Structure 1
Amino acid sequence: MTDAALLVRLLADTAGGDQRAFRELYQATSSHLFGVLVRILERRDWAEEALQDCYLRVWQKADQYAAEKGAPLTWMQTIARYRALDLLRMKRPEVSIPDEDEAPPMTFADGDALNPEVRATEQEGIGRLSNCLDELAPEPRKSVLLAYYEGYTHPELAVVMKAPLGTVKSWVRRGLSQLRECLDA
């Protein structure tokens, strides 16, 4: 059984109230969703809160998942993303939410814990990475950002970017290769 087929089955069983299936669903997907939430919220405590809310919503709305409309992990990521954005608006109303095509801000998750020397070195690395990302063509850049910032899988990228799976894989591979070359220069 493929991962997606397993998740579809677990969601269906969860919709029927099966707590064991829900636990398996959580174990199979929580680390991925937590990574997405941490990247969006930039705070571990907020990400933990959002993850709990996300799974509560999955438990309540599992019967609304429709396999023909998308992959189960994509559906769950959407729930997590909306919860994260709601939490950002609620806890930091002065923060504007970036547009879909904007690059994510590259900041420290726990910047206060770093000493000034380490922070300066890290900031220089982040600046170099940002400059290297700017040198990428639009498709590889967006593919890399969605894969590593938003946690999209290759099949999900193919859907979002409306491109064949092989093309998306090439964009990610090429983008990462060009980033590596740029950072090594």
Structure 2
Amino acid sequence: MTPMLTRDQLADALGMTGQGDRAAFRQVYLATSAKLLGVCLRILADRQIAEDVLQETYLTVWKKAGTFDASRASPITWLVTIARNRAIDRLRASANFRRSTPVDDANEVVDGALLPSETVERDDDARRLHGCLDQLDDKVGGVIRTAFMEGATYDSLATRENVPLGTMKSWIRRGLLRLRACLEQ
């Protein structure tokens, strides 16, 4: 199960990684590796090369985590920038890139990355969502997270919590209503 870290928790984990804390580095990796692999794959379009670049990215993170400054960038933006730069460097180093991509075509390439304003808005939305989830009863908040963020079925949740399926559906329905009310404030 991938841990969900808030922006502040991720920033703290990066700070501790900069001090050589392996457990914090593991938290950073578990919380961000899927996203960073996606960044590498989008640029490189080859899973094996993307995985190699991802490894290089985390070596860089381990070495440079002490330079991360939360006042200059969000932790995920800092990490994505490292992954993106590593992937672009690898792409530029490949002979196929030099042969197949004329410079004049660069005007036609669409950058699929979010705008900085969209990233800030998405991070704010995620922070609000997690804040509202934290206000729910622990059990209800936990099953909502598991159902909607990990894809668990209501039936599997009911079995895991040892409650009837109807009870599980009621918990989630009432929890979602409270969640919506919180988010609309």
TM-score of the superposed pair, with normalisation by structure 1: 0.55
1:34 lines up with 2:41 in the alignment: no
Task: Give the gaps of 5 or more residues in structure 1.
Answer: 105-144, 160-164, 167-185
**1: CA distance, partners of 2:40 / 2:121:** 18
Is the alpha carbon distance of 1:35 and 1:2 closer, same or farther for their aligned partners in structure 2, counting shifts above 3 Å? Answer: closer
What is the identity, as a one-letter code, of the residue corresponding to 1:75?
Answer: W
Q: 1:65: which partner in 2?
A: 68
Whose RCO is larger (CA < 8 A, sep 6+)?
Answer: 1
**How far, CA to CA, are the matches of 2:94 and 2:65 in structure 1?**
27
The root-mean-square deviation of aligned C-alpha atoms, in Å, is: 3.2
For residues 42 and 156 of structure 1, the distance between their equivalents in structure 2, rounded to whole angstroms, comes to 27
Residue of structure 1 in register with 2:87 after alignment: 84
Equivalent residue in structure 2 for 1:15, among 18, 21, 44: 18
Question: 92, 101, 113: which is aligned to 1:146?
Answer: 113
State the SS of the aligned residue for 2:71: helix
Cα 1:90–1:156 change in 2 (3 A) is farther
**Structure 1 residue 100 displacement after superposition:** 8.4
Scaled by the length of structure 2, the TM-score of the pair is: 0.55
- What letter matches 1:155 in structure 2? T
Which of the pair has more CA radius of gyration?
Answer: 2
Q: Give the number of aligned pairs.
A: 118
CA contact 1:146–1:157 (8 Å) conserved in 2: no
